[in-house]
Amino acid sequence: MIWWILGLSAAYAAALNGTMVMPVVVLAISKLPGYDEGLATLVASAELAGIAIYGLFFPRLALKSWRMVTGLGALAIVAGQTASFLLPDPVPLVGARLLAGLGEGAIFSLVAASLASKADAERLWGEISLFGGSAMGLLLFIISIVPQLQAGSNVFLTIALFAAAMAPLFFLITRRAADSQPVSEQAHLDRDKMLAAMGIVFLTYAVQAAQWAICGYVGEQIGLQNSELGIYLAISSLAGFAGAVVPALTTDKGKRLPLVMAGFLIMAVSIYCLFNFPTRAAFITAQILVNVGFYIVTPFVTGIITENDRDGSLVSRTLVIAIIGATLGTAAAGPAFAAWGGSEFAWLCLVPLALGAGGAMVVFGHLHRVRSVVMTPNVAE
């Protein structure tokens, strides 16, 4: 079991590390000759486009040829990142970022297919988020404390080496966990509730990306230097993955709803404090806790989607929804913060979090009611 989880965690880390360090990637591209921040953002977004294209059109390939997807996916990531290091001009760099994104989408589909229809999906996602996320957080931390790794194209070579180090572990995924049982009918969600679950994913990622995009401005307002800011954000990201311990250790499905609501509450309070209490202590504490809340919520929500996913394609497409939410949240954050300021921006973030919490009450409340009805006769007997 542990080797299987290790392989899935490595694949998760390799597939999502590009999105994790995206702010560093944009900054690195903007420092290349001929780029400004707008062009850098556009070029960097080609990686997200690659993930989305794979998730939308090729999510089932892993079921047909697992080894081919594993090998070509790993090769595409390493080749795309290495080409990004070697080819800094805009057109070839877009192609390189797109190739890396396609590879990341392919590797993520392995994780999604492996977990499809597993009854303990939220616990497995918690474990994968904890181990894989910690690896990504460590990568971001190392990049943040070593300025040479942030300089120009060097960041791409660093990511390529990280992906190459993770790649051999992908083949551990073939060791399927014997004690991971198929999902029961109790976990079934109808179309409306599945859409609600995907809506929770969209809203949660949008808010997380929005506050992440603006926290640099908040750091500047409280007097943080760029070097300090990068280290603080890296530490908060690394520490925030501790939130995944909660779903990883939760075996009682009756506790899912209160734990998800607690995660949303932690995110809401943290974001409010981040933009209303401009001190260094509040900044780092809020950033850690908002990540903790995020990694409490998302494995549970992804878990119930996974339980209703027969082949992994639904989870791969949910990743596309998450990327769209994060992209829109990032795009809206700057103008909203500039127009209304920090306090009002915090309230703008709380509204979608409240909607997400409402959606969680509908989805998890339904599952808990079904579970109670099924268990009651057994208790009576």
Residues 194 and 57 in one domain: no
Q: Which domain holds residue 22?
A: 1-181
Q: What is the pLDDT of residue 150?
A: 63
> Please, which residues bridge with residue 182 across strands?
118
Residues 84 and 142 in one domain: yes
Each residue's pLDDT tens digit, 11-54: 999 999 877 888 778 878 888 888 887 788 788 889 989 999 99
Residues 175 and 197 in one domain: no
Each residue's pLDDT tens digit, 303-340: 999 989 888 899 999 999 999 999 888 888 888 888 88
Confidence of residue 116 (pLDDT cuts 50, 70, 90): confident
Residues 121 and 249 in one domain: no
Tell me if 103 sits within 8 A of 75, measured CB to CB: yes
Residues 105 and 240 in one domain: no
Residues 115 and 213 in one domain: no
Residue 171 CB neighbour total at 10 angstroms: 15
**Mean pLDDT, residues 132-154:** 82
Which CATH number belongs to the domain containing residue 189 in this structure?
1.20.1250.20
Residues 168 and 122 in one domain: yes
d(CA 95, CA 49): 11
> Please, which residues bridge with residue 94 across strands?
none
Closest CA to 43 of 64, 57, 22, 61: 22
Residues 372 and 247 in one domain: yes
Last residue in a domain, options 181, 214, 236 = 181
Tell me if 246 sits within 8 A of 296, measured CB to CB: yes
d(CA 151, CA 145): 12
Q: What is the pLDDT of residue 185?
A: 56
Closest CA to 349 of 218, 254, 224, 223: 218
Which residues have a Cβ under 8 Å from the Cβ of 353 and sit 6 or more positions away? 203, 204, 207, 264, 267, 268, 271
pLDDT above 70 for 61:
yes
Task: Name the pTM for this structure.
Answer: 0.88
> Please, which residues bridge with residue 238 across strands?
none
Q: Where are the alpha helices (DSSP H) in the chain?
A: 2-20, 22-30, 37-57, 61-64, 66-86, 90-115, 121-145, 147-150, 154-166, 191-221, 226-240, 245-249, 256-276, 280-307, 313-380
Instruction: Give 328: exposed, middle or buried? Use CB within 10 Å, 0-12, 13-18, 19+.
Output: middle
Last residue in a domain, options 150, 181, 212 = 181
Which of 80-84, 202-206, 235-239 shows the lowest per-residue confidence on average (mean pLDDT)?
A: 235-239
Residues 174 and 309 in one domain: no
Residues 222 and 260 in one domain: yes
Each residue's pLDDT tens digit, 220-236: 888 887 677 778 888 88
Query: Which is more confidently placed, 53 or 377?
Result: 53
Residues 71 and 172 in one domain: yes
Residues 322 and 296 in one domain: yes
Report the chain's C-alpha Rg in angstroms.
20
pLDDT above 80 for 261:
yes
Last residue in a domain, options 155, 181, 207 = 181
The count of domains in the chain is 2
Give the HSE-up count for residue 302: Cα atoms under 13 Å, Cβ half-sphere: 32
Which of 143-152, 305-314, 316-325, 358-367 shows the lowest per-residue confidence on average (mean pLDDT)?
A: 143-152
